[in-house]
């Protein structure tokens, strides 16, 4: 597109090269600590070094590309996201944010602007939990916050540990285990992540860019079991049945009733049964199902809402168990905390949008992002969403480069105005 900024053209080129190199029909695949993610990191580093940025890599393999400001003693503005993807996913999830950071850097260089403070673009590792059952291990390690036990988590495709894969890629899991940070939280004035929106709000609003107000936290049970008893479909009378399907159905209905009640009270949440399955060697068209497995994913930006749904879930297990003669085993629980974006940075983004006469509504994030790690560490954090059709984690992501270019313009105005913000954090 000829009307893109120079930075927008750079972002377009980077994203095209990523797509070509990591295509895995019907989408793209960049495995965490695998060849696709490695290629992406090398490509972005190459582009940044051509702009004069200084590159370094931490013990976990996160890398930092710094364009020096006038006063290196000042805390830096950090822009970042991730470069891994889900299997056969879309090209823009994560990568668009890193490309946007590079694009802002290119605009500063091209316009001869030197910021008062350093600008650092960070590309984190392993954000997509599909590879390791962990919340943001790359950004956690960057801040020296990764639980040492997390290094024993096994990658879904290889069965090998996170520590093994770090070592294989030339990094230092022992330093990660000791909590050696890659970046000092006290040296970050603001962290900003640009990301495609993974829902329909910006499409519905007709806006190219949105300013994120907060990131939902949540909990996930990855292997819940409902146990009943197998029986003949014709011979087992209703009073004697212990039907795991009906038990599961009652659970779903009761949780949806709780969801309805929360929405009536003005709260937002999502409740998702992402996988439901039975044993194909045991189930059949003429059998009462004796065992059913499923996953449960619950999210909300309000911690109190998450606590309420968890408490109700445990009550439902007991109520349905008594009614249907079944039992539930919840299994492993995986959690992540909600994160609120900095009001001061949101105000700065609002001001930049107004100066550019750009429509940039406030929107929540129902999905998790590396920005949640930085916000949780007490670092002033902001996020921009870019309009994107068809959701994410699928090959049909449909972000327009023109919309990403609008985010780049907004972010450029934000960083150049940052030291003039009256309500700067």
- What is the pLDDT at residue 424? 59
Please state, in angstroms and rounded to a whole number, the distance separating the CA atoms of residues 204 and 340.
23
Closest CA to 369 of 140, 31, 157, 63: 140
In this predicted structure, what is the pLDDT of residue 2? 58
28, pLDDT greater than 90: yes
Q: What is the pLDDT of residue 337?
A: 85
305 pLDDT more than 60:
yes
CATH topology of domain 6-216+338-420: Aminopeptidase (3.40.630)
**pLDDT grade for 367, boundaries at 50, 70 and 90:** confident
CB 289 within 8 A of CB 298: no
What are the b/e assignments for 2-31, b being 16+ CB within 10 Å? eebbebbbbbbebbebbeeebeeeebbbbb
Segment 353-377 shows an average pLDDT of 95
Label residue 31 left, alpha or beta by phi (over 0 means left) and psi (-120 to 50 means alpha): beta
For residue 82, the model assigns a pLDDT of 98
Which pLDDT does position 86 carry in this prediction? 96
Distance CA 318, CA 295 (A): 18
Q: What is the pLDDT of residues 256-267, one digit of tens each?
A: 999 999 999 999
Identify the pLDDT of residue 20: 97
The answer to whether 269 touches 305, Cβ cutoff 8 Å, is yes
pLDDT(316) > 60: yes
CA nearest neighbour of 230 among 292, 288, 293: 288
pLDDT at position 422 over 60: no
Q: Is the pLDDT of residue 135 over 80?
A: yes
**Mean pLDDT (whole number) for 310-327:** 98
Enumerate the CATH 3.40.630.10 domain ranges in the chain, comma separated: 6-216+338-420
Position 106 pLDDT exceeds 80: yes
366 vs 314: which has the higher pLDDT: 314
Residue 366 has pLDDT above 90, yes or no: no
218-336 folds as: Alpha-Beta Plaits (3.30.70)
Listed in order, the ranges of the chain carrying CATH 3.30.70.360 are 218-336
The stretch 273-295 carries a mean pLDDT of: 96
- Give this prediction's pTM: 0.87
The proportion of the chain whose per-residue pLDDT surpasses 70, expressed as a percent, equals 99
């Amino acid at each position: 597109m000829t009307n893109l900024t120079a930075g927008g053209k750079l972002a377009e080129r980077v994203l095209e090269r990523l797509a070509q190199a990591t295509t895995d029909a019907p989408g793209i695949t960049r495995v965490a600590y695998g060849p696709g993610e490695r290629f992406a990191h090398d490509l972005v580093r190459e582009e940044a070094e051509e702009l004069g940025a200084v590159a370094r890599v931490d013990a976990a393999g996160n890398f930092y590309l710094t364009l020096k400001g006038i006063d290196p003693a000042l805390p830096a503005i950090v822009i970042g996201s991730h470069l891994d993807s889900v299997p056969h996913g879309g090209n823009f999830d994560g990568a668009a944010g890193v490309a946007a950071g590079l694009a802002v850097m290119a605009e500063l260089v091209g316009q001869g602007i030197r910021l008062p403070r350093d600008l650092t673009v960070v590309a984190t590792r392993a954000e997509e939990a599909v590879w390791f059952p962990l919340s943001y291990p790359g950004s956690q390690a960057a801040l020296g916050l990764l639980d040492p036990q997390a290094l024993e988590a096994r990658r879904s495709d290889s069965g090998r540990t996170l520590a093994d894969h770090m070592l294989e890629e030339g990094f230092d899991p022992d330093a990660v285990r000791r909590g050696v940070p890659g970046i000092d939280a006290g040296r970050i004035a603001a962290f900003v992540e640009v990301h495609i929106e993974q829902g329909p709000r910006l499409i519905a609003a007709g806006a190219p860019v949105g300013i994120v107000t907060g990131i939902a936290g949540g909990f996930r049970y990855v292997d819940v079991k409902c146990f009943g008893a197998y029986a003949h479909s014709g011979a087992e009378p209703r009073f004697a049945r212990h039907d795991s399907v009906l038990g599961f159905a009652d659970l779903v209905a009761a949780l949806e009733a709780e969801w309805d009640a929360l929405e009536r009270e003005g709260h937002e949440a999502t409740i998702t049964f992402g996988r439901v399955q039975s044993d194909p060697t045991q189930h059949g068209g003429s059998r009462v199902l004796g065992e059913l497995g499923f996953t449960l994913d619950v999210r909300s930006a309000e911690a109190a809402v998450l606590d309420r749904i968890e408490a109700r879930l445990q009550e439902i297990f007991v109520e349905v168990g008594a009614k249907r003669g079944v039992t539930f085993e919840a299994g492993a629980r995986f959690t992540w905390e909600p994160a609120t974006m900095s009001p001061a940075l949101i105000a700065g983004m609002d001001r930049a949008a107004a100066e550019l006469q750009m429509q940039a509504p406030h929107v929540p994030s129902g999905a998790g992002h590396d920005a949640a790690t930085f916000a949780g560490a007490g670092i002033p954090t902001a996020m921009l969403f870019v309009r994107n059709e068809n959701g994410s984690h699928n090959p049909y992501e449909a972000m327009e480069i023109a919309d990403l270019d609008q985010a780049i313009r907004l972010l450029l105005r934000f960083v150049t105005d940052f030291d003039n913000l009256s309500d700067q954090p």
